[in-house]
Chains A and B, each alone.
Chain A
Amino acid sequence: MTAEADVGSGDFRFSMLLYDRRYRSITIQVLALLGFLLFVSWLVMNTVHNLQVQGKDFNFGFLWTRSGYDINQYLIDYDSNATHFRAALVGLLNTLLAAVVGCILATIIGVVVGVLRLSKNWLTARLMTVYVEGLRNVPVVLWILALFAIMTNVTPAPNAFRGESPTASMLFDETVAFTNRGTYIPFPHMTWQLGVFFLVLIASIAAAWFVRRESVRKLEAEGAEPIAGWKIAAIAVVPTLALMILGAGFSFAVTSIIRLAVLAGLIYGSILAFRAIGAALAPSIRQTVTALGTIAVVLLWLLWLGPIVWNGLFPAIGLDPTLKSFVPLDAPALRGFNFQGGLKIENSFVALTIALALYTGAFIAENVRAGIMAISKGQSEAAYALGLRPGRTMSLVILPQALRVIIPPLISQWLNLTKNTSLGLAVSYMDLRSTLGGITLNQTGRELECMLLMMLIYLIISLIISSFANFYNRSVQLRSR
Chain B
Amino acid sequence: MSDLHAHSVAYVRDTMLPQADPPASETGAIGWLRENLFSGPLNTVLTILSLAAIVWLIQAIFPWFANSVWHADSLDNCREILDGTLGACFAVITERWRQMMYGFYPTEIYWRANFTLLLLFVALVPILFINLSARARAIVAATIFVLSGVLVWGSFWSDIGAVGAILLILLFAAFAFAIYEYDRTRKFLVAFSLLFPFLMIWLVWGGSIWGPVSALLGFVIIGLCAAYLPPVIGNLGATIVAVVGAVIWWLFIASAFSAAMGSILPFSIQAVESRALGGFMLSIIIGVSGIALSLPLGIVLALGRQSNLFIVHTLSVMFIEFIRGVPLITLLFTASLLLNYFLPPGTNFDILLRVIILVTLFAAAYNAETVRGGLAALPRGQYEGADSLGLDYWQSQRLIIMPQALKISIPGIVNNFIGLFKDTTLVTFIGLFDILNFTNAIRANAEWHGIYWELYIFVGFMFFISCFPMGRYSKWLEGKLATDRR
**Chain A interface bracket (under 10, 10 to 19, 20 to 34, 35 or more):** 35 or more
Quick one: which of A5-64 are within 8 Å of B by CB? Answer: 18-19, 24-25, 27-30, 32-33, 36, 43, 46-47, 49-51, 53
Q: Which residues of B contact A466 (CB under 8 A)?
A: 321, 325
Q: Are B425 and A142 in contact (CB under 8 A)?
A: yes
CB of B344 within 8 A of CB of A137, answer no
Q: How far is the CA of A451 from the CA of B341 in the complex (A)?
A: 12
The reply to whether the CB of A149 lies closer than 8 angstroms to some CB of chain B is yes
Q: Is there contact, CB below 8 Å, between B345 and A133?
A: no
Complex: A360 Cα to B30 Cα, angstroms: 38
- Bound together, the chains give a CA A451 to CA B338 distance in angstroms of 8
**Smallest CB separation, A313 vs chain B (Å):** 50
Report whether B393 and A133 are in contact in the complex, using a CB–CB cutoff of 8 Å. no
Q: In the complex the two chains form, is B326's CB within 8 Å of A462's CB?
A: yes
Taking A29-B310, A121-B43 as contacts, is the C-beta distance between A137 and B463 under 8 angstroms? Answer: yes
B330 touches A32 (CB 8 A): no
Whether B134 sits at the interface, judged by CB under 8 Å, is no
Instruction: Pick the contact of B47: A3, A123, A133, A137 (CB < 8 A).
Output: A123
A93-150 residues with Cβ-Cβ distance < 8 A to B are: 116, 119-124, 127, 133-134, 136-142, 145-146, 149
User: Do residues B43 and A47 form an inter-chain contact, with CB atoms below 8 A?
Assistant: no
Docked complex Cα distance between A437 and B322 (Å): 18
Asked whether A142 lies within 8 Å of B324 as measured between CB atoms, the reply is: no
**Nearest CB on B from A1, distance (A):** 6
B46 touches A142 (CB 8 A): no
Instruction: Tell me if A67 is interfacial: C-beta within 8 Å of chain B.
Output: no
- Cβ of B70 under 8 Å from chain A: no
A53→B347 CA distance, assembly (Å): 14
Interface residue? B377 (CB, 8 A): no
Which residues from B are CB-within-8-Å of A455? 326, 330, 334
Given A1-B383, A24-B236, verify A433-B312 contact (CB < 8 Å): no
When C-beta atoms are compared, the residue in chain B nearest to A131 turns out to be B53
A124 pairs with B326, CB closer than 8 A: no
* Given known A-B contacts A51-B341, A137-B464, A448-B338, A2 and B322 have beta carbons under 8 A apart: no
CB-contacts of B390-420 with A (<8 A): 393, 396, 418
Closest to B428 in A: A141
Interface membership of B167, Cβ < 8 A: no
Query: Is B315 a contact of A124 with CB atoms below 8 Å?
Result: no
Check if B132 is an interface residue, CB within 8 A of chain A.
Answer: no
Q: How far is the CB of B269 from chain A (nearest CB, A)?
A: 32
User: CB of A447 within 8 A of chain B?
Assistant: yes
Nearest-CB distance from A67 to chain B (Å)? 20
Q: Which residue of A lies closest to B337 (CB)?
A: A447
Scoring B341, B422, B453, B456 by chain A CB atoms within 10 A of each residue's CB, the highest score goes to: B341
Q: Is the CB of B234 within 8 A of A18?
A: yes
A contact residues around B426 at 8 Å (CB) = 141, 423
Give A28 to B393 CA distance when docked, in angstroms: 13
Q: Is the CB of B456 within 8 A of A149?
A: yes
Contact call B471/A32, Cβ cutoff below 8 A = no
- A463 to B318: give the CA distance in the assembly, Å: 12
A127 adjacent to B429 (CB under 8 Å): no
User: Quick one: CB contact mask for B325-352 with A, threshold 8 Å, 1 for yes?
Assistant: 1111110011001101111110000000
Min CB distance A274 to B, Å, is 64
Q: How large is the interface on B (under 10, 10 to 19, 20 to 34, 35 or more residues)?
A: 35 or more
B393 touching A437 by the CB < 8 A rule?
A: no
- Whether B333 pairs with A33 at a CB distance below 8 angstroms is no
**Of the candidates A25, A137, A422, which one forms a contact with B309 in the assembled complex, judged by CB atoms under 8 Å apart?**
A25
**A419 proximal to B (CB < 8 A):** yes
Across the two chains, which residue of chain A brings its CB closest to B467? A137
Q: Is the CB of A141 within 8 A of B43?
A: no
* A388-440 at interface with B (beta carbon < 8 Å): 419-420, 422-423, 425-426, 433, 437
Q: Are A1 and B396 in contact (CB under 8 A)?
A: yes
Rounded to whole angstroms, the CA-CA distance of A51 and B467 in the bound complex is 43
Is there contact, CB below 8 Å, between A49 and B453? Answer: no
* Cross-chain contact of A47 among B309, B341, B453, B471 (Cβ < 8 A): B341
Using CB atoms, name the residue of chain A closest to B384. Answer: A1
Q: Which residues from B are CB-within-8-Å of A138? A: 422, 460, 463-464, 467
Q: State A33–B237 Cα separation when bound (angstroms).
A: 17
Q: Cα distance A238–B383 when bound, in Å?
A: 61
State whether A141 touches B330 (Cβ < 8 A).
no
Closest to A438 in B: B333
Check: A454 CB closer than 8 A to any chain B CB: yes
Q: Once bound together, how far apart are the Cα atoms of A137 and B342, in whole Å?
A: 36
Q: How long is the Cα–Cα vector from A101 to B46 in the complex, in angstroms?
A: 27
Q: Contacts A19-B234, A46-B342, A123-B47: A419 and B326 contacting too (C-beta < 8 A)?
A: yes
B436:A124 contact, CB within 8 angstroms: no
Q: Which residues of chain A from 170 to 193 have a CB within 8 Å of any chain B CB?
A: none
Are A142 and B463 touching (Cβ within 8 A)? yes
Given contacts A3-B387, A122-B36, A124-B50, contact A49 B329 (CB under 8 A): no
Is the CB of A209 closer than 8 A to any CB of chain B?
Answer: no
Cβ B342 vs Cβ A454 within 8 A: no
Q: Given A25-B309, A29-B309, A124-B47, A142 and B460 touching (CB < 8 A)?
A: yes
A433's partner among B43, B51, B329 (CB-CB below 8 A) is: B329
Contact across chains for A29 and B312 when beta carbons are under 8 A apart: yes
The answer to whether A458 has its CB under 8 Å from any CB of chain B is: yes
Shortest CB distance B389–A (Å): 12
Contacts of A30 in B (CB 8 A): 311
- B39 interfacial contact with A, CB 8 Å: yes
Question: Which residue from chain A places its CB closest to the CB of B347 in the assembled complex?
Answer: A46
Nearest-CB distance from B183 to chain A (Å)?
A: 33
Flag B438-471 by CB within 8 Å of A: 1 or 0 each.
Answer: 0000000000000011001001100110011001
Q: For the complex, give the distance between the alpha carbons of A139 and B452 in Å.
A: 16
The answer, yes or no, to whether A459 is at the interface (CB within 8 Å) is: yes
Determine the chain B residues whose CB is within 8 A of the CB of A423 once the complex forms.
Answer: 327, 329, 426
Query: In the assembly, what is the distance between CA of A120 and CA of B47, in Å?
Result: 11
CA distance A56 to B252 in the complex (A): 32
Q: Given A3-B387, A138-B460, is A422 in contact with B330 using a C-beta cutoff of 8 Å?
A: yes
Contact B425–A146 (Cβ < 8 Å): no
Given known pairs A28-B236, A137-B464, A425-B429, the reply for A459 and B326 (CB within 8 Å) is yes
Tell whether A72 is near chain B: CB-to-CB under 8 Å. no
B40 nearest CB neighbor, chain A only: A120
Contacts of A28 in B (CB 8 A): 236, 309, 312
Decide if B425 touches A451 in the complex (CB within 8 Å).
no
Q: How far is the CA of A422 from the CA of B334 in the complex (A)?
A: 14
Chain A, range 218-261, C-beta contacts under 8 Å to B = none
| Chain B residues near A473 (CB-CB < 8 A) | none
Q: Does A379 lie at the interface of the complex (its beta carbon under 8 Å from any beta carbon of B)?
A: no
Query: In this assembly, does A340 line the interface, its C-beta being within 8 Å of a C-beta of chain B?
Result: no
**Chain A residue with Cβ nearest B329:** A422
The docked-state distance in angstroms from the alpha carbon of A142 to that of B455 is 10
Q: Is the CB of A137 within 8 A of B311?
A: no
Q: Is the CB of B312 within 8 A of A458?
A: no
- Min CB gap B242→A, angstroms: 14
The chain A residue with its CB closest to the CB of B340 is A50
Q: B393, A46: Cβ atoms under 8 Å?
A: no
Is B248 at the interface (CB under 8 A from chain A)?
Answer: no
Which A residues touch B423, using CB under 8 A? 139
CA distance A136 to B322 in the complex (A): 25
The answer to whether B236 and A18 have CB atoms under 8 Å apart is yes
Q: What is the CA–CA distance of A112 and B4 in the complex, to the nearest angstrom?
A: 63
CA distance A18 to B340 in the complex (A): 38
Residues of B within 8 A of A (CB): 36-37, 39, 43, 46-47, 49-51, 53-54, 234, 236-237, 308-312, 315, 321-322, 324-330, 333-334, 337-338, 340-345, 383, 386-387, 393, 396, 418, 422-423, 425-426, 428-429, 436, 452-453, 456, 459-460, 463-464, 467-468, 471
6 nearest A-B residue pairs (beta carbon): A462-B325, A122-B36, A137-B467, A419-B327, A139-B422, A422-B327
Can you report 11 A-B residue pairs in the complex whose CB atoms are below 8 A from each other?
A18-B237, A122-B36, A133-B471, A139-B422, A422-B329, A423-B329, A425-B329, A447-B341, A451-B330, A458-B325, A458-B330
Query: 7 more A-B contacts (CB under 8 A) besides A124-B50, A138-B467, A466-B321?
Result: A33-B311, A46-B341, A116-B46, A124-B49, A146-B456, A149-B456, A458-B325
